[in-house]
Structure 1
Amino acid sequence: MDISVVVPLYNEDESLPELTAWIDKVMTENNFSYEIILVDDGSTDKSWEVIESLRLQNDAIKGIKFRRNYGKSAALNVGFEATQGDVIITMDADLQDSPDEIPELYRRIKEEKLDLISGWKKKRYDPITKTIPTKLFNAATRKMSGIELNDFNCGLKAYRSDVVKTIEVYGEMHRYIPVIAKWAGFSKISEQVVEHRARKYGTTKFGFSRFINGFLDLLSIFFVGKFGKRPMHFFGSLGVLSFLAGTVMALYMIGIKLYHIAAHIPYKREITDQPLFYIALVAIVVGSQMFLTGFVAELVSRNAPERNQYLIEKRTP
């Protein structure tokens, strides 16, 4: 099969018939063999009834329904597991992504041998309350990941099959799939300017909390990807630095006190009366705790079942 189109959705019963018909038209015109996997993330409208009806009209349409709303990341992860195509396309169900972009995305994945192409909605129809935070998050993600993309959270993306079968998406991490793919060893990541259409039906399903959750997930991805198998390198390094800083401050105060005693110079301030003493004490305690945290995390990591599981791309015969 050439292409699998994964569409996560939540309360999009109005847009599904038009979206699937549009995808079918594009696939037919380009002679692609394809499947459309519609993942209903616990919709409370008639989305599932629409999916069942569309399935009767087109065998290429497949539906998966969650018992409750788990979020877009969960829907994508389950959709990825069900795919059979060589190239996987993800797109939103609200008709803001254009299926007309699919042939070019497929061509580039195949001809340029790319792992992932992320869409870039250069011209957006979103309100300023959404575009400004999005730009800030994109800038922060570029800085932390080293991946030069302008729009990490664009729903329209294309992947090689190996990518979606290897990575795991959970929490709110769907917006950072390029980062997850890079940490998994898929470094051939590119970008393509795509059309962003104004929403035709319904309203957006994402609130302000997604920005807070997104930032926390970015930190999680960065830490797990870089230190997941060697947590002592992170906690131990910070712990040692904090402990040494506190020790140096304590020795400095003791040295000053001893100098005044040896030189018979009056020194009325007690060490415990100085703010620096408490700063040093806190630094030593925090450093010790972070070092012990790293030690415990290292023990947990070394005893984890997946401690020696690594992603192997190829083997010689």
Structure 2
Amino acid sequence: MDISVVIPLYNEAESLRELHAWIKRVMENHAFSYEVLFIDDGSNDDSWNIILDLARNNPEVRGFKFAKNYGKTAALQTGFNETQGQVVITMDADLQDSPDEIPELYKMITEDGYDLVSGWKQKRYDPITKTLPTKLFNATTRMIHDIPLHDMNCGLKAYNSKVTKNIIIYGEMHRYIPVVAKWSGFGKIGEKVVHHQARKYGHTKFGLERFFNGFLDLLSITFVNKFGKSPMHFFGLFGILSFLGGLAIATYLIGEKLYSIYNHQPYRNVTDNPLFFLGLTAALIGSQMFLAGFLGELLVRNSVKKDEYTIAEKT
């Protein structure tokens, strides 16, 4: 099979038939063999009934419905697990992403050899409250992870199937899939300017909290990618430095007292010096961080990573 199209959705009943017809027209015009996977993220409108109807009348359509709203990352991961195509295309269900971009994205993966190609909505039809934070996130991510993409969170992306079968995303990591792919060894990442359309139906399902979640996810993915397999390298390093700092303070205080005693000079108890409590705190924190790193290493070596989401129905 040439292409798998993965479409996560939440309450997008108005656009599904039109989106499917558009995808089908593009695929048939270019003679692609394909499948369309609709991942219903716990919609409470008529989305699932429409998906069922599309699946009954179109053998290329497959549908998955979550028992509740897990989020876009969960929907994408489930879609990735189920795809059968050589190239995986992801797009949003709100008709803001154009299926007409699929043939060129497919070519960039199969002929140009990219592992992942991300769309770049150079001209966007979104309010500034959405575009400005997005630009800040993209700039920060480019700086930290050295991935030259202008629109990291664009829903329209193309993947070599080896990428989607070998990465695991969780939480709200869908914003940083290129980062996950790069850290998994898929470093040939490209970008294509894509047409962005104004929303035709409904309204955006994301609120302001996504900006805070996005920042926290950036910190999380940076830490996990660098130290997820070796937590002792992080906790152990700072733990040892903190412990040695506390030990140095204790050594200084004891040495000062012994010097005063030896020279018959007045002295005060070690515990009367504020530095004593600073050193004690540093030593305790150092010990705890070292222990956290040790426990983290045990967990990493004995855990089996498994991400499952409850699918209530399946076509």
> What is the TM-score of this pair, normalised by structure 1?
0.89
- What corresponds to 1:50 in structure 2? 50
1:235 is the counterpart of 2:226: no
1:270 Cα deviation after fit: 5.2
- CA, structure 1 residues 264+131, in 2 after alignment: closer, same or farther (shift >3 Å)? farther
CA RMSD of aligned residues (A): 2.0
- What corresponds to 1:155 in structure 2? 155
Structure 1, residues 252-290: CA drift from partner, whole Å, max 9, x if none? 3444444555556656x6543444332222111100100
Structure 1, residues 115-168: CA drift from partner, whole Å, max 9, x if none? 111111222222222222222222232233222222211101000011111112
Match for 1:289: what amino acid?
Q
1:94 is the counterpart of 2:94: yes
- What corresponds to 1:13 in structure 2? 13
SS of the residue aligned with 1:7? strand
Question: CA separation in 1, counterparts of 2:274 and 2:99?
Answer: 64
How do residues 296-315 of structure 1 correspond to structure 2 at under 5 angstroms?
A: 296-305=295-304
Match for 2:22: what amino acid?
W
- What corresponds to 2:312 in structure 1? none
- What corresponds to 1:196 in structure 2? 196
How do residues 5-154 of structure 1 correspond to structure 2 at under 5 angstroms?
A: 5-154=5-154
- What corresponds to 2:308 in structure 1? none
Question: CA separation in 2, counterparts of 1:259 and 1:30?
Answer: 88
- Bigger relative contact order, structure 1 or 2 (CA pairs below 8 A, ≥6 apart): 2
Instruction: Judge which range, 170-179 or 248-257, deviates more.
Output: 248-257
- CA, structure 1 residues 94+298, in 2 after alignment: closer, same or farther (shift >3 Å)? same
Instruction: Judge which range, 134-143 or 185-194, deviates more.
Output: 134-143
Question: CA separation in 1, counterparts of 2:288 and 2:84?
Answer: 48
Question: CA separation in 1, counterparts of 2:301 and 2:24?
Answer: 49
Match for 1:199: what amino acid?
R
Residue ranges of structure 2 left out of the alignment (5+ in a row): 306-315
1:73 Cα deviation after fit: 0.9
1:288 is the counterpart of 2:293: no
Residue ranges of structure 1 left out of the alignment (5+ in a row): 307-317
Question: CA separation in 1, counterparts of 2:125 and 2:68?
Answer: 30
Structure 1, residues 35-64: CA drift from partner, whole Å, max 9, x if none? 111111111111112112223443222211
How do residues 151-230 of structure 1 correspond to structure 2 at under 5 angstroms?
A: 151-230=151-230
Runs of 4+ in structure 1 off by over 6 angstroms are none
SS of the residue aligned with 2:196? coil
1:221 Cα deviation after fit: 2.2
Question: CA separation in 1, counterparts of 2:274 and 2:25?
Answer: 73
Match for 1:36: what amino acid?
V
Question: CA separation in 1, counterparts of 2:304 and 2:12?
Answer: 40
Match for 2:291: what amino acid?
L
Question: CA separation in 2, counterparts of 1:139 and 1:91?
Answer: 23
Identity %: 65
